[in-house]
Structure 1
Amino acid sequence: MIVITTPTGDIGSRLLDILLRDADGEDLRVIVRDPAKLPAAVRERVDVVAGSHGDPEVVDRAFTGADAVFWVVPPDPGATDLEAAFSGFTRPAAQAFTDRGVGHVVGVSALGRGTPVAERAGLVTASLAMDDLIADTGVAYRALANPSFMDNLLRQVDAIREKGVFTDTVAPDRKAPSAATRDIAAVAARLLLDRSWTGAGEVPVLGPEDLSATDMARIMSEVLGRPVRYERQGLDELGGTLSGYGLGAGFVQGMVDMMRAKDEGLDAGVRRTPETATPTTFAQWCEEVLKPAVLA
């Protein structure tokens, strides 16, 4: 049996679709706060455990009889303490992995381990500590080491449509990897279906190319048939904006520290190989995902 956390999230929902299509003979179970958010056709084909996967009773029940787990810590914008938001949230599951004899866990994490800035990278630093917590249980563990998601740009659809602008905090010419969430889900599915691996380690998910914000603006302009430009936002401005939304101080500082680290090379520590590259180009993603959203 495979247990999927966050089955309605950006990655979890895509993973669930893949497993429902390809996981012949595998029982599937999901943990979800609100089962009504799952399509009725999905609820009919999976075992549903309602509740938070940060709850000890929920994970103990959900992991009973499980061979493998897909683990994602949901974002906690109200967090005042990042250790609590990542490792604290994960500790009940880590105990349940051991108590219930779970063999394999695939988790969503981040690039950065081994880089000079990894210890001061905010949300990423907390995510890497969570990986260590899971690995220390002795379960076979693979952390999906991800760069920024292409899909994050969907949060800026209105600005792209109405103003022809997208923003970030990185230098305009800094090239970095990015990945489509559908490719991350595909890597997770491969690991969950072929559980011949042992030990603990990372699986980098780098996308097929490194691009700068300037490159991305050019590609978006070409695909959308309208000019799109990049505006760099200062880190202080980012922090002020997030605080203005009422987000927790720990989360805000963690986001600012992560974005500073990305501009200092956080995502540049892994070389792209056929094993670490994923197929969706940014141009393809823009054509298939961003363009329909902008035109909607």
Structure 2
Amino acid sequence: MTIAVTTPTGNVGRHLLRLVVQAGERPRVLVRDPERLDEAARGFVDAVATDQLDTESVVRATAGVEAVHWIVPPSGLDDPLEGYRRATDALLAAVRENGIRRVVFQSSSGAERRHGAGEIDGLAATEVALDDAGVDVTHLRCGYFFSNLLFDLDSLKAGTIATAFDVDAPMPWVAPEDIAAVAAVRLLDRSWSGRHVQAVHGPEDLSFRDVAAIVGDAVGRPIDVVQLGDDDVRATLTAAGMTPAQVEALVGMTAGIRDGYTPENPRDYTTTTPTTLAGWVPANLVPLLR
């Protein structure tokens, strides 16, 4: 079996790549710049320079592939949803022209809403397109990544964490490596077919106030929680140089999984993964806050 892995240098992809190799497979790695691939991994994979927004590039890179793990990378386009559309078109062409049998698609909680969740709407559209294509597909509906905290290093160093989420509302938080483990199992299992939705919720639901306490305990100093309004976020992102569409994609994503939202997939044995935030923070966040 030839397995294709996308974004192999990302928070999920780098863990997935190791798991697939350790399972005895030699994956096809679709990467924008092969030089960025972990040097230790290069002898165990076949790396192909690929632009996931370009149909010809994706079709060429996936020739002979049986299963693919598809993560849409940040496009950098003025309109993020256009990036999702182009990536989806490329994936569908590859599925059609190369006869790819199975797709494990990294989606998100909130994609089941289909509309009204900002950037997540792009993931929802990909889900719909894959369903309509009739390919065997598993949609991984992932919770809020632990690694999103890495975007807030300056704030955390100053002793605060700011968010437009309700700071007291618990929601699923998950380690990227746990998402990779679930994805690896689905990729390597040849027995399933049809359409599946697999939520990946982490070990427990946490509020941002809970998260601040966990990080504070790990760094040995209190972390305050700052509640932001959507307009505060708009102003900050606009000042940082983002386009209006980029701003609304991020603001809408938060609002879409904040305001009256309950995940379609409940927390249960199948959606709960083991890595705790308290275990993840000392190894992955604390060294960056010193």
Which bin holds the TM-score, normalised by the shorter protein?
over 0.9
Distance 1:248 1:12 in 2: 28
Q: Are positions 1:4 and 2:2 aligned together? A: no
8 Å CA contact 1:68–1:105 kept in 2: the answer is yes
CA contact (8 A) 1:131 1:143 kept: yes
Q: Distance in 2 between matches of 1:19 and 1:94?
A: 23
Q: CA deviation at 1:119?
A: 2.1
* Residue aligning to 1:276: 271
Q: Which amino acid aligns with 1:13?
A: R
* Equivalent residue letter for 1:191: R
Verify the 8 A CA contact 1:78 1:247 in the aligned structure 2: no
2:35: which partner in 1? Answer: 36
Q: Distance in 2 between matches of 1:78 and 1:91?
A: 16
Distance 2:33 2:111 in 1: 34
Task: Encode CA deviations 1:258-294: one digit per residue, 9 max, x unaligned.
Answer: 1112221435332111100011112111222222222
| Helix, strand or coil at the partner of 2:140 | strand
| Residues 1-296 of structure 1 mapped to structure 2, 5 A cutoff | 1-22=2-23, 24=24, 26-80=25-79, 82=81, 84-114=82-112, 118-161=114-157, 163-266=158-261, 268-295=263-290
Q: Distance in 2 between matches of 1:266 and 1:150?
A: 20
Alignment check: 8 A CA contact 2:80 2:249 kept: no
Query: TM-score w.r.t. structure 1 length?
Result: 0.92
Q: AA paired with 2:4?
A: V
Q: What SS does structure 2 have at the residue aligned with 1:109?
A: strand
Change (3 A) 1:213 1:40: closer
Q: Secondary structure at the match of 2:273?
A: coil
How far apart in 2 are the matches of 1:172 and 1:230?
7
Cα gap change, 1:77/1:247 in structure 2, threshold over 3 Å: closer, same or farther?
Answer: farther
Measure the CA separation in 2 of the matches of 1:286 and 1:248.
32
SS at match of 2:166: coil
Q: How far has the Cα of 1:113 moved from its partner?
A: 4.4
Structure 2, unmatched stretches of 5+, are: none
- Tell me if structure 2 keeps the 8 A contact 1:49–1:58: no
Deviations 1:40-89 (A, max 9, x none): 3322221111130222222122211111001011123433261x221232
Q: CA deviation at 1:93?
A: 1.6
Residues 76 and 251 of structure 1 are in contact (CA less than 8 Å); yes or no, is this contact kept in structure 2? no
Q: State the alpha-carbon separation in 1 of the partners of residues 237 and 244 from structure 2.
A: 9
RMSD: 1.6
* Runs of 5+ unmatched residues, structure 1: none
Give TM-score scaled by structure 2 length. Answer: 0.94
- Distance in 2 (CA, whole Å) between partners of 1:172 and 1:194 is 39
- Indicate conservation of the 8 Å contact 1:177/1:267, yes or no: no
Checking the alignment, whether the CA contact within 8 Å between 2:54 and 2:86 is kept in structure 1 is no
1:12 positional shift:
0.9
